[in-house]
A and B are shown apart, each in its own frame.
Chain A
Amino acid sequence: MAQIELKALQKAWDDAVAVQDMNLTIQDGEFVAILGPSGCGKSTTLLMLAGLYLPTGGDILFDGTRVNEVEARHRNVGIVFQSYALYPNMSVLQNILFPTRFQQTPDAEKRAREMAEMVQINQLLERRPSQLSGGQQQRVALARALIKRPNLLLLDEPLSNLDATLRLTMRAEIRRITRDLGVTTILVTHDQLEATTMADRVVCMNAGRIEQIGRAEDLYLRPDTLFVAGFIGSPPMNLISLPHPLIEAPSIARTFGLRPEALRPAETGLPAQVTHFEPMGREVLTTVQTPLGLLRFLEAGTQPLWQVGDSLHLTHARDDAILFDGTGARIPNATALITEQGYA
């Protein structure tokens, strides 16, 4: 177990910068998710932490000690790849035991069986990886990563190859196991649900930079940047360019954001015409055409209350609006309102 610190970390290839100026401190035993779209540098960061990539700038510290040049095999890090990367030529037990071949592990086999029990694959130890389902392979990979009691557990999109139900179970499983072992864990994912449900803190990355670090609700309610606002939340936030004659907002604001659940139908307000429905279980996502362009709002209920072509009015609370300046940064404590001038 270790405290991990990244200081101005940078990784550049000949022609491109993958990660730059990355500062992050992860507490001992903490579960942190690095969230971002593909190509944002999150996997590169992970491979630098594992010791497989050499940073081109900045430092990586494990418990305050600089480990930049320490080879992967000496860092005592466990890793689970999206493909699971099991060794096809070895049985499940041999796979789990593989890391113990390189360091003194008393009772290695007993420990491997404990690990197998913890991830519930003790019936499969003699099988080959090719005979296992995706979920089982995932569990083997997890047991293999944990057998040497790693300082740090790295998970690279571990759930992406699983089906939806299995993903739900494995999310809870991984969380339970990492909490039981108290291991510091970094999860890399492009799936915001994975990040927000599993992690203590979420690091949102874009184009090689950290956009925001915080708890899931911070990122959702108080996005620091326009990117975070657009990336977090499903369905995504409504974003409208400012200035706009129908929106009353501070003059420095350049973008007006409003979550779909903040908009609601009312007697008066912004006129809208229904164009599309998406029932989402207990809520219905409705797309409407308005003078501000296409907007989306969420309404409770399993059945749509409207029909395509219906006219209605929308309104929202002044405090729900989120405003961003020309650089894309959020303007703190600013409020805005869609006005009804001429449409009442």
Chain B
Amino acid sequence: MVDWVKLAQRSRLGRRLRLGALSVFLVAVSIPIAVPYIWMVMIAFTARRGMAETGTLWPALVVILVGLGIYGVAMLWLRRERLAIVMGVLTAFLLGLILLGQDLHLQNFRFMVNANIIDDLDGQGTVGERYPWVWEAFANSLLLASTQTVIVVTVSTLAAYYLSRFSFRGRNTFLQSLLVLQAFPAITLVIPIFLIVFWVGLLNTLYAPILVLTALELPFFIFIMKGFFDAVPWDIEMSAMTDGASRREAFWMVVLPQVRVGMIAIGVFAFIKGWEEYVFVNGLRTGESYWVMSTYLYYVREDVMGVDYGMVAAVAVLYVLPALILYLFCQKYLTQMTLGGVKG
């Protein structure tokens, strides 16, 4: 006779143990990823006068751990997600105020209102230099990332549609070469690209990194978009054309809405790529002709008078913010990208 009750108990226990082990593993793996970001934020808000304020880092982790613990307990007891989040955040906030309250300040963010960060720090140390202004770098980064995103999304969408729907001589070779291009590390191309940009006369202009990044990113994004177009059934397009649409109208009205997810996904990736770019923005300028966020961050770090870690962290926080916001808003589209599919 089989003891069903006992078997069910064993299965429940097994499932709990497996889930528990999985949770512990995931938490352990995420610690080295999450902690640096937490500390970056802490340093930005607590460090003073060029010294890294390590005293606040451990209490900060304690605060977050307690908050997470309260959230976990609340979830287990109350089983109401929103309430649990509110309780966790509230606890962390109050505890943080008690433990770290007197250490928090906004001094490290003074670069946002005053371009003259070095003079401000060390009196008359470096008179006469031209200091980069953070908002100029921010605007340039925004311009670089968004222009590049618009070009990448437009070109890869149109190219991928053509590759997906039309057969022409050399189509397969073209597709294979798209992937081969992706196999080369872009950094190996820095010198030839520098020469080309120099001869074309775009050196020290923002056009150079925009065009170069676009060219480097296109192959991969075309490939991704082709996958999305491949998933759109032919029938729908043929149906639209018998319904009276021209091919272009069918593309706009029927096909394009179905690859929207793909366009948003590659748009986000292209934007983040442009936003974080360092190699080509730094490699294609010879002086200080333009500043973007990555070069600005490097400039702040490079101070001859000793590094102001507090300010570096503060710049980093500002630098991370737009990408983070974009990511949060578009997260649900990005997860669908791996599916590469269109659901009717």
Contact = CB atoms under 8 A, between A and B. Distances in A.
A87 B238 contact: no
Interface size class of A (residues with CB under 8 A): 20 to 34
A73 B236 contact: no
A52 to B, nearest CB: 5
Interface string B101-121: 000000000000000000000
A19 interface: no
Interface stretch (B30-38, B240-248, B274-282, B322-330): B240-248
A103 interface: yes
A85 B238 contact: yes
A101 B244 contact: yes
A85 B236 CA distance: 5
A73 B254 contact: no
Interface string B225-250: 00000000101101111111110010
Given A87-B254, A88-B258, A130-B343, A79 B242 contact: yes
Interface string B256-277: 0110000000000000000000
Q: In this complex, which of A50, A71, A72, A77 has the most chain B Cβ atoms within 10 angstroms of its Cβ?
A: A72
A52 B241 contact: yes
B344 A81 contact: no
Contacts of A75: 242
B254 A81 contact: no
A319 to B, nearest CB: 47
Contacts of B249: 102
Contact of B238 (A78, A79, A98, A144): A79
A72 B242 contact: yes
Interface string A83-116: 1011111000000001101110000000000000
Contacts of A144: 243
A75 B249 CA distance: 17
A89 B253 CA distance: 9
A47 interface: yes
A98 B254 CA distance: 10
Given A87-B254, A88-B344, A102 B245 contact: yes
A101 B254 CA distance: 13
A81 B235 contact: yes
B99 to A, nearest CB: 51
Nearest to B237: A85
Interface of B: 233, 235-236, 238-246, 249, 253-254, 257-258, 342-344
